[in-house]
Structure formats: structure tokens, C-alpha cells
Amino acid sequence: MIPIKLGISSKISILVCSIAVLSVVLTSGWAFYSFRQLLIEENLENIEHDAHVASDRLRSRIEDMSNDVKFLHDIPPISGLIRASTNSDGIDIEDTSSEVQWKNRLAVIFKELINAKPYYRRIRFIGVADKGREIVRVDRVVPENRIVRIPDDQLQTKEHRDFYQAIIKTADKQVYLSEMNLNWDHGKIIVPHVPVIRAAMRVEDEQGKIFGFVLINMDLSYVFKELKESLHSQTKFLMTNTNGDFLVHPDPLKTFGFDLGRPSLILEEYPTLKGQFNDVGLEHWSGMIEQDSAKSPTMAASMHKIYFDPTKPDRFICLLLTIPKDKIVASLEAVQRQILYVMIGLFLIAMVIGLFFSRSLTRPLLQIIESIDSYGKGDTHSIHVHKAPSDETGILLHAFQHMVFQVEKRANELRFSEARNRAVLDAAADAILSINENGIIQSVNEATETLFGYTSDEMIGQQIEKLMPSPHREMHQSYLERHRNPEMNHPAPSEGVIGRIREISGLRKNGSVFPMELSVSRVWINQSQLFTGIIRDVSERKEAEARLIAKNIELEQKNKEAEQFIYSVSHDLKAPILSCTGLMALLWEDMDRNDLDAVRDSLKRIDRNVLRLENCVGDLLEFCRVGSIPHEPVLVDVNKILKQVVTELELSINQADATLDIEQDMPSVIADPNRMTELFINLLNNAITYGC
């Protein structure tokens, strides 16, 4: 017998081991590369989102400051202070308030505004007179966070500052936005440094000449801290002005270097961003930055340009977020080791299985060879195979291969179908979950996790009542019982639940209850029922309906108040007019009699009624302007006023043939004499008219 150096068993073993090794290498390499690319893309998306959110927040702060400056420009204390200061006696000719009173009112408004906005550092009203001296100034004192008004003897002149010259050159009604720089006080930079941006608007007097301007200082250190806290700890946060000077940098020595004589530019640190930074039309960019220096490794970056000044469209703030690539892929080391261990284990298992399979496959062949060899030697009793071994081995091999093919085909179809269904469910905006006939949760989609606050692991296998508040929790078991035992004397379950959209309440993980719409469907699988529910959160719709109802109630109340107000005003206006009408009749009679004394008396009464009508109209105008009628209470002689009212209404009293019973020596009271006069006139007119 010729010896065989390498048998078929060894060949099969080598083949199996080679395939296993190749599979391990290719699979692990592909898995590691795919996971690495996915991780980089995910980090790019995260920092791009963070940069977008930070840009919107900073832009919102600046727009908020601009709107506040516009608000301060138009408040009454500004115009009142201008009128009072331009008057020789320091009194506002329209309001009679003094210049000091207007300053105090303006300071109160400044304090309230700076208290409401924690990122405001200083609010001022600066005049152009006296070298640009501050008129009213309110500061936030840190770290005590006290809000104080600066005394008049500590107010400064600002004519020498760059922002002063820029503001007085701006157009009327235009908001000036300064550069972002370090705050100065008393001619030098404040220490510790306070980065600020200023917003201002010119104020003109009645002749159209510039009187001064209102100015707000925003503390950028508060805003920068707010932005940093919203970012991931590994994210590097940088910010520059239009010139590329650093405003925010992890190294404090590089921030605001242009104010401190040590400028530091973004293109010096990131020269590869020159094209993106200088591209005027580019608003945002994300990608990988390849650095040549070992100190500046490759990193993922997202750059956003914030165009914040409408008067200077090319002016922007550049926000840059970066994450070093080595920090991104650092987490891959543990994953790489795990993949390697799994693949080695699979290789060893495959090798053992391959060796066993090769032995099993060649054992019948070896028996055939031994039988044939024995037969060749004349030993016929050693032949144990009655059928051709190749037939049995071939059929077995073919059947096995066919079986493996069919199993893999069906498994792939099932996996594809399951993945497709899962993708559809997870992409759905509504929450979708399924339960069995015992109320046990079988599956949920991502929207269900978001809506209820539980993870899928926390919900699957739990009772559905976990997501229901009372009384829905108690009612649900009765619904399930109806479906499990339809032969019992229950109402048809489909009439109450299946196929209908119901509004019920849901219970989140944090214990909050919210309104939702629920639609339930049912399917039979292997003699068991499976229920699928589609859930939609209708909290916003309910809140909108409630707000609409409240608004309608408010409008109805205001309509009622308006009707009452119109009735009251018409009554007060009609009384002096009717009195004048009657007095005019008396006046004609007196003139016919040539009774000059009576004519003078009637004219005086008409004059008093006209004055009263004028006061009433003036009060009405004052009410429309400030929302209330001013009162000046003094000591009022009730007897004198009542006597005057009776005299004015003498004609109406005589025509009505009325008799007045007036108590004498009534005490004096503290009141508004005009309101007291109107009160008695209205009472007597009502008594005469309605016979009271």
C-alpha cells in the first residue's frame, strides 16, 4: 500500500480552519471599520447640533438686548427727563415732574430690567452735554449680585470712548451693537476681566437734536458660561470675532488678546479653516480637520457664523466646536478587544467542529477502503458495505447541503421581514405597542419609549396597567376578561374598545399623567389573541383648547366692562349738557325781562357747567392715557357744594315740582371736590328723573 502523506481528513480540516481564519479576519476588520466610521459620524452630528443650538442661543441674547434698548428708548421717563433738563427751572412743562423725579423713575426701570436679565451688567442713559456725562447709571455688582444706582458724584464722562463716537454717528431709530471686548471703567480695563457687548440707541429732543443715548452692557462671561455648560465635557469650545481674534478659548491667555496687546487668531491655530472662515456666504460647516502638527491632532469640527448686526451684514461671530479624533476612537479599543475575543472563540469552535466533521465524513470512506483492501487480500468476510459508499455519502451530503440552504434562506427571509417591520415601527411618530390577552407587553417602538419615559427593557414583560393611571387601570382588566371569555354575558368588547379611537389618560415613568388618543386592533395567532395599540399624545391640543376657552371668557368680561364704562361716561357728560340747556332757557327769559342780574347769574351757572364738562372730558382723556382718573383729595365743605348743586339744578327741580329736604350743618370730608360735585348732581338728577 502506498502511504498517503496528506489524507482527505487533513485536507478538510485545513480547509475548515482556513475558512474560519479568513472569516474571522474579514468580519472583525469590517465590524471595527464600520463602527469607527459610525462613531465619527455620530460625533460630527452631535457637535453640529450643539453648535447650532449654541448659535441660536447667542443670537437670541443679542436680539433680546436690541429689543430692550428699543423699549428703553420709548419709555416716558426718557422724554420727560429731556423736557425737564432743557427747561430753565428743571420742571417738565407737560407733566410738572422735576428732573430729579424723572431720573428716579428711570433708575427704577433700569433696576427692574437688569434684575430680570442676569446677563446684563450695566444700563445707562448718557447725554452728549458735559463731554458725554452719564445721567442715570445702574450696575450689577458681582460676586454679591447686588443691583445699585451709581451716585451722581461718581458718574463719568464717556466722550473719549470709541463706542461714544460710534453711537452719535448712527442713524435715528437704529440700534448700535459694539464689538465684543473687555469692559473699561475710569479709563482702564476692569480686573478681573469682564467681556461685554453693548447695545445703544440715540435719543433726540423735540427739535430733532441728539440729546444722548440709552446703553446696555451685556456680561458675555455669563453667556459664555451658559453655552459651555450645554456642551459635552470632551468638546472644545472656541469663539472669535470677524477679524478672527479669540473671544473664547480653553487657554485664557488667548482670549481678548487684541485688548491686552497679545493678539491670537484662529487661522494661526487652525490654518486649514482659512477657506471656510473667509467665505462670506458660508454660515456653517462641519467636517474633519487634518492638522500637520503633533500638538494639533486630527479632529472633528463644526463651525457656525452668527451674522448678528443688521446694520453691518458682513459682521459675524464665529463659533467653533471640536473633538480630537483620538478621543472619539478611544472607546473603540475596548470594542476591538471584545470583537477579537469573540472571533478567536468562534475560530476555535469552528476548528473543533471542522475536525470532528472531517473525521465523521471520512470514517465511512476509511471503512470502505479497509473493506476493499481486505477483499483484495481475499478476506470477503470483512466487507460490511452492501451499497456503494459513494451513493450514501453523496445523498447524505446533498441532503445536508440542501437542508442548510433552505434553513439559511428562511432565516434570512425572517430576519429581513423582522428588520423591515421594526424599521417601520421605529420610524412611526405615534407610539405603538402590543400586548397579549393577559395584558403583558410584548413589543414597543421608540416613540413609546419617548412618550412614557421607560426603556423597552423596562416595559416588555410587564403589565400594560403600568402605563395607566386610575381609573383606567382598574377598567382595563375587565376589557381583557371580555375578550378572553366572549361566551360570558359581557357586552360585545368590540363595541367599546376594538377599532375605535378613544381619549384616555396615560401615566409616565415620572408619575405625570397626560391625555392621549388610543386606537386598538386585534389579531389571532396560534389560537391566542394579540392586541396592538396606537397612541398619540394630545397634550398640546388640550392646552390650546383650554387657552381658547379662557381667552373667550376674558373677552366677554372686557366687553361687559366696556359697556359699563360707556354708560357711566355718557351719564357724566349728559348731566352738565342738560343743565346748560335748562339754563339757556332761563337766560332767554331773563333777557326778555331785561333782568341783567339774572342773566349774569345764569351765565355763571352755564360757565360752571361748561367747566364741569371740560373737567369730565379731561378726566376721560387722562383715563385713556394712563388707565385711571387722577384724584386730588382735599377738605371739602359739603354744605357749600350741596348749595351750589341745588342752585345749578334749580330749573330742573322747579320743572319737576320737586321738594328737597336738605340736612343742615353736614360735616366736611376729605375728597375730590369735582368728584363730590358730580356725585350730588347725578343723585339729584336721578331722583328728579325717576321720582325717587
The pLDDT score that the predictor gives to residue 559 is: 77
Fold entry, domain 74-225:
Beta-Lactamase (3.30.450)
Looking at residues 323-348, what average pLDDT do you find? Answer: 74
The pLDDT score that the predictor gives to residue 492 is: 46
Cell of 375: 477483499
Element (H, E) at 303: strand 299-306
DSSP 492: -
Cell of 63: 436680539
Q: Are 132 and 157 in contact (CB under 8 A)?
A: yes
Cα gap 444→459, rounded to integer Å: 8
Looking at residues 63-74, what average pLDDT do you find? Answer: 96
Q: Is the pLDDT of residue 69 over 90?
A: yes
- Say which residue, 50 or 3, is predicted with more confidence: 50
Start-to-end CA span in the chain (Å): 146
Q: In which band, very low, low, confident or very high, does the pLDDT at 494 lie, cut at 50, 70 and 90?
A: very low
- Say which residue, 406 or 395, is predicted with more confidence: 406
| Range name among 353-362, 366-375, 456-465, 595-604 with the lowest pLDDT average | 366-375
Cα gap 545→539, rounded to integer Å: 10
| Range name among 170-184, 241-255, 520-534 with the lowest pLDDT average | 520-534
Q: Is the pLDDT of residue 387 over 60?
A: no
Looking at residues 657-665, what average pLDDT do you find? Answer: 82
Kindly report the average pLDDT of the chain as a whole number: 81
Q: Is the pLDDT of residue 231 over 90?
A: no
The reply to whether 428-537 shares the fold of 226-329 is: yes
Nearest Cα residue to 300 out of 395, 235, 383, 239: 235
Residue type for position 558:
K
Looking at residues 437-454, what average pLDDT do you find? Answer: 88
Q: Is the pLDDT of residue 619 over 70?
A: no
Fold entry, domain 428-537:
Beta-Lactamase (3.30.450)
Query: Would you say domain 226-329 falls under CATH 1.20.810.10?
Result: no
Q: Is the pLDDT of residue 72 over 90?
A: yes
The pLDDT score that the predictor gives to residue 245 is: 95
C-alpha triplet 442, 450, 541: angle, nearest 5°:
115
Domain locations in the chain as residue ranges: 74-225, 226-329, 428-537, 559-690
- Say which residue, 62 or 463, is predicted with more confidence: 62
Helix axes 638-648, 596-626, angle to 10 degrees: 110
Q: In which band, very low, low, confident or very high, does the pLDDT at 399 lie, cut at 50, 70 and 90?
A: low
Instruction: For the chain, give the percent of residues with pLDDT over 90.
Output: 27
Nearest Cα residue to 529 out of 604, 608, 438, 624: 438
Sequence-separated (6 or more) residues with CB below 8 Å from residue 127? 85, 133, 134, 135, 211, 212
Looking at residues 501-520, what average pLDDT do you find? Answer: 87
Q: Is the pLDDT of residue 14 over 50?
A: yes
- Sequence-ordered alpha helix ranges (H) in 117-173: 129-132, 162-168
The pLDDT score that the predictor gives to residue 627 is: 55
Whole-model pTM: value is: 0.48
The pLDDT score that the predictor gives to residue 681 is: 82
Helix (H, G, I), strand (E, B) or coil at 666: coil
